[in-house]
A and B are shown apart, each in its own frame.
Chain A
Amino acid sequence: MNRKLPVYLLIDSSGSMNGEPIISVNEGLRALLSALRQDPYALETVMLSVITFDRDVKEILPLTAVEDVQLDDIVPPISGPTHLGEALEYLIARYHTDINRKSKSSKGDFSPMLFVMTDGKPSDLQLFNEKAQEIKQLNFASIIGCVAGPKAKKEELLKFADPVVSLESNDSSSFSAFFKWVSDSITAGSRSGGLEVGGANKLPPPPAEINIVI
């Protein structure tokens, strides 16, 4: 009888994330997971998936109930491109197979949430542009972008994400604030039960350290 709320995290694991950024992301993911486990609504509804992208796209966590999630640290390659377009293409395929929509016997899932985080710009721009348009046609409840650090390009994520938040620096404190916000957003999503009631389904305001680009 319980509808599921699928949540996808797309995380940049390209070479530039090495060092403090990826350490912060790994910590952020762990904090996110424990926050969701402390929430009785999220435990009942949220399914979490983590997909990383660098030269390759990897589904390091297939859609899993938060209680059962086992997360390994993300280890980026030493260098290489950022295949965000390819990641979106992979995500679209997952969307079509993962999401339980029409079924006579059981209720469909809630519209999924998507969080995309990158510290650079897509290397496969043509594919990216194409898939960004395609993603917008799908039924996501919200798509939130996050650009971290000085080199990140907000314009690209704005093509399909709203809002896009910007972390001025990619140090651990801004990452942890961001992941706290992500978990608050997911928690709010799992509580709202899809009801758009008087702002109940609105995302919580982002923390002070984060700029909303638009």
Chain B
Amino acid sequence: MSSNIKTVQTFAGDTISYYDEIIGSGTMKDVYFTTDKKHVVAFYRDPLEQNALERLKMITGAYHKGIFEEKNGNYWNNLFCWPTDIVFDGKLHGVVLPKYHQQYFFEHGSINNDFLAIKNREKEGKWFSSPTNRFSRLDKREWGDWKNYLRIGLLVSRAVRRMHAAGLAHSDLSYKNVLISPSSGNACVIDVDGLVVPDKFYPDVVGTPDFIAPEVVATTHLSKEDEKKVLPSRLTDRHALAVLIYQYLFLRHPLRGKKIHDMDDPERDELLIMGEKALFIEHPLDNSNTTNPSLARPADKFWLDTRKLPYTVAGPYLSKLFKEAFVDGLHHPQKRPTANDWEQALIKTIDLIQPCSNKECLSQWYVFDNSKKPICPFCDTPYKGQLPVINLYSERGEGRFIPDDHRLMIYKNQSIFPWHVDRNITPNERLAPKDSSRVGYCIFHDNHWLFVNEKLTQLFDATEAEEKKKIAIGDTVELKDGLKLLVKYNHSARLLLVQLV
């Protein structure tokens, strides 16, 4: 880099040097690389008001400490791009941020030798959220499969859950402020400098169109002083989160159907669609805002067809939440699922997926539909062969096993983790290192499904209650219909009941 190097003092007392060349501009900030190549400095173009500066001090100070210096706080470094320090160059303020990870920049870009010239540019969520953008413009290697989008939804939910637990609202969750890498299945929440603390720091912006909650859209015309005006909060974050997850998984907006509220004024029509008159395109009792795939572009037709691809293909746990978010809670913010609800539902849903055998399938993975003859909803390829499903039961009281409402689909090389054998373990940032690696795996060998025990010291075949057989480490057991495996792990016991579909 040939540009000049400038230095600036941080509030924490460090000296930061950066290249005096703008590498990117947001709506409020200009961004520069630091000379250590690991950070960026983002200067606000306009002088900061006292309140905004106070907020930044809290974000880089107490809030940063609370989240990143807790036990396992390092985990959050991958999920947030959080400002760590403030700088002042005599005129303008800025923040010091970690540089985005390389995976958030296009490696291959668009088709036809990158005809759109987007290689090395940021992977903004919008690229992946319309079928035409994702499948007709991007290089295949950038697409990512359905499993990765579930994981992205999970990581974003987890990040939002952590912010909300700290009493903070993001206030502007959108494609722009959540970096995603579908090819590697990762996500990172950015632009947290505008976050909202109830009764202390108020939102600067109402959000990004398509993600603004209906009650906020419906009251944008009111003045700031008006009591009826609704501002972004944790409740509106919940709406934005639901829209993000729906959009990543189904590549359509949950409120953009065929209904027209104002024929003459499209701008007013948009306000009604997203605000006062917002109606879920898949509302079970009111189909007036359903989609009209026949008018869509070729690549969009399939994804817009809610009869062919209803939200229920996401399985029971997510379906319940989509209904709560877009039917029950669309106009009743208190009824919207929390970020924690999404995180838990996504964890369980990821155990329900199985690979599609069609190599050309756009999704590659789908959720088991609980039927005897599973078919991939994305390409209609039926599942071939026997499909083992493990139903999980936990011991509550001596010898009494109650269903956990949690099943695990088995596919080749599927791993069994500690959270499958102990209901007290949840796979999240608090997971102990000893619990983060698998305890066994499944293989398909000689026409039989086998479970290989790698780490379970107390695993028994309990199919015959009177005659438990111990399965030692290194041993295998065939997954037959009706097999009951009993696992004692830590201080709890779990029963794994095998079904063959």
Counting CB contacts under 8 A, is B457 at the interface? no
CB of B132 within 8 A of CB of A44, answer: yes
Q: Report chain B residues within 8 Å CB of A108.
A: 260, 263-264, 266, 269
Shortest CB distance A210–B (Å) = 16
Are B267 and A110 in contact (CB-based, < 8 A)?
yes
Q: Which of B127, B206, B264, B292 contacts A40 (CB 8 A)?
A: B127
Which residues of A are found within 8 Å of B116, using beta-carbon distances? Answer: 37-38, 43
Question: Given A1-B291, A1-B292, A1-B295: A197 and B266 within 8 A (CB)?
Answer: no
The stretch of B70-78, B139-147, B209-217, B238-246 in contact with A is B209-217
**B183 on interface, CB distance cutoff 8 Å:** no
The contact string, 1 if C-beta is below 8 Å from chain A, for chain B 194-238, is 000000000001111110100001001000000000000000000
The contact size tier of chain B is 35 or more
Q: B175: shortest Cβ distance to chain A, in Å?
A: 8
Q: Is the interface of B mostly helix, strand, loop or mixed?
A: loop
Contact status B217-A102, CB under 8 Å: no
Q: How far is the CA of A106 from the CA of B206 in the complex (A)?
A: 29
- For residue B273, give the distance in angstroms from its CB to the closest CB of chain A: 9
Q: Is the CB of A196 within 8 A of B296?
A: no
Tell me the complex Cα distance, A104–B295, Å: 12
B2 to chain A, nearest CB (A): 19
| Smallest CB gap from B274: residue in A | A195
Q: Using Cβ atoms and an 8 Å threshold, which residues of chain B touch A200?
A: 205-206, 208-209
Q: Which residues of B contact A67 (CB under 8 A)?
A: 137
Smallest Cβ distance from B115 to chain A, in angstroms?
8
| Residues of chain A in range 89-137 having any CB-CB distance to chain B below 8 Å | 101-102, 104-111
A102: chain B residues within 8 A (beta carbon): 263-264
Provide the residues of chain A in CB contact with B132, threshold 8 Å.
44
Decide yes or no whether B304 CB sits under 8 A from chain A: yes
Interface string of B24-40 (1 = CB under 8 A from A): 00010000000000000
Given known A111-B267, A197-B217, contact A105–B127 (CB-CB < 8 A): no
Contact A196 B304 (CB under 8 A): no
CA distance A109 to B266 in the complex (A): 7
Contacting residues, chain A, for B118 (C-beta < 8 A) = 38
Q: Which residues of A contact B27 (CB under 8 A)?
A: 204
Given known contacts A38-B116, A40-B124, is B271 in contact with A195 (CB within 8 Å)? yes
Q: Is the CB of A107 within 8 A of B206?
A: no
Q: Are B304 and A1 in contact (CB-based, < 8 A)?
A: yes
Within the complex, the shortest CB–CB distance from A197 to chain B, in Å, comes to: 5
What secondary structure prevails in chain A residues at the interface with B? loop
Taking CB atoms, residues of chain A closer than 8 Å to B127 are 40
A51–B201 Cα gap in the complex (Å)?
48
Residues of B within 8 A of A1 (CB): 252, 256-258, 291-292, 295-296, 300, 304
Interface residues of A in 40-64 (CB under 8 A from B): 40-41, 43-44
Whether the Cβ atoms of A195 and B270 lie closer than 8 Å is yes
Which of A143-151, A157-165, A186-194 binds B?
A186-194
Tell me if B217 and A195 are in contact (CB < 8 A): yes
CB of B130 within 8 A of chain A?
Answer: yes
In the bound complex, residues from chain A placing their C-beta under 8 Å from that of B269 are 107-108
In the complex, what residues of A have CB within 8 A of residue B448's CB?
none
Q: Which residues of A from 181 to 214 have beta carbons under 8 Å from B?
A: 191-200, 204
Could you name 5 residue pairs across A and B whose Cβ atoms are closer than 8 Å? A1-B256, A1-B304, A101-B264, A197-B217, A198-B205
Interface residues of B (CB under 8 A from A): 27, 116-118, 121, 124, 126-127, 130, 132-133, 137, 205-210, 212, 217, 220, 252, 256-258, 260, 263-264, 266-267, 269-271, 274, 291-292, 295-297, 300, 304
Sorted nearest first, the 9 A-B pairs with minimum C-beta distance are A40-B126, A194-B267, A193-B209, A194-B270, A195-B209, A108-B266, A198-B206, A40-B127, A37-B116
Supplied contacts A43-B116, A193-B270, 9 more A-B pairs, CB within 8 Å: A1-B257, A3-B266, A37-B117, A194-B209, A194-B266, A197-B212, A197-B217, A198-B205, A200-B206
